[in-house]
Amino acid sequence: MTYHSKKILSKQEGFTLVELIVVVIIIGLLAGLVLPQFIKQGEKATAKAAKAQIELLGTALDTFRLDASRYPTSQEGLHALTQKPGGLDRWDGPYLKKEVPNDPWGKPYIYKSPGEHGPYDIVSYGADGVPGGEGNDRDVVSWE
């Protein structure tokens, strides 16, 4: 081995502590900018899933009405889509393949018939489970 090749082999290369700290700070800043956007997209997706479920329940309710000449009462609720209500002759269900789902936040949908905004109202109160709210707590309703 020559002197020049020994010098190259003995030279150690790597990152200094300052360089590593700079990289960690840059990664932290990027995460701080990008992470909130991902969270907002997740909240939007959950609300869209609730809206899609409400629309599917509305379709099942319309089919129920075609058969029974009326919508289920508030007391019969959405379970009339999967189980025949007592005293109803013209029921050709079940109108849903599975049981009535809970909203994406795990709470039951609120069903009222006749509704204040149409023949029926279906409401999910969002993540907080109480009327009103903003963002992820915003209500998802059948009439909007």
58-91 pLDDT, tens digit per residue, is 999 999 999 999 999 999 999 999 999 988 888 8
Residues 121 and 40: their CA atoms lie apart, in Å, by 27
Domain count along the chain: 1
Residues 52 and 90: their CA atoms lie apart, in Å, by 28
In a domain, 3, yes or no: no
Question: 137: domain range?
Answer: 17-141
In a domain, 11, yes or no: no
pTM value is 0.70
Which of 138-141's residues contact partners 24+ apart within 8 Å by CB, and which partners? Answer: 138/47, 140/47, 140/50, 140/51, 140/54, 140/103, 141/54, 141/117
In a domain, 1, yes or no: no
In a domain, 101, yes or no: yes
CA atoms within 13 Å, Cβ hemisphere of 128: 10
Instruction: Give the list of residues 6+ apart from residue 108 with CB closer than 8 angstroms, or none.
Output: 100, 102
Task: Calculate the average pLDDT of the chain.
Answer: 85
Before 101, cis peptide (omega within 30)? Answer: no
In a domain, 9, yes or no: no
Given this model, what pLDDT does residue 25 score? 87
In a domain, 70, yes or no: yes
The answer to whether the beta carbons of residues 139 and 132 sit under 8 Å apart is: yes
pLDDT category at 3 given cuts 50, 70, 90 is low
Averaged pLDDT, 31-45: 73
In a domain, 59, yes or no: yes
Averaged pLDDT, 95-105: 92
Phi, psi of 29 (to 5 degrees): -65, -45
In a domain, 75, yes or no: yes
| Residue 95: CATH number of its domain | 3.30.700.10
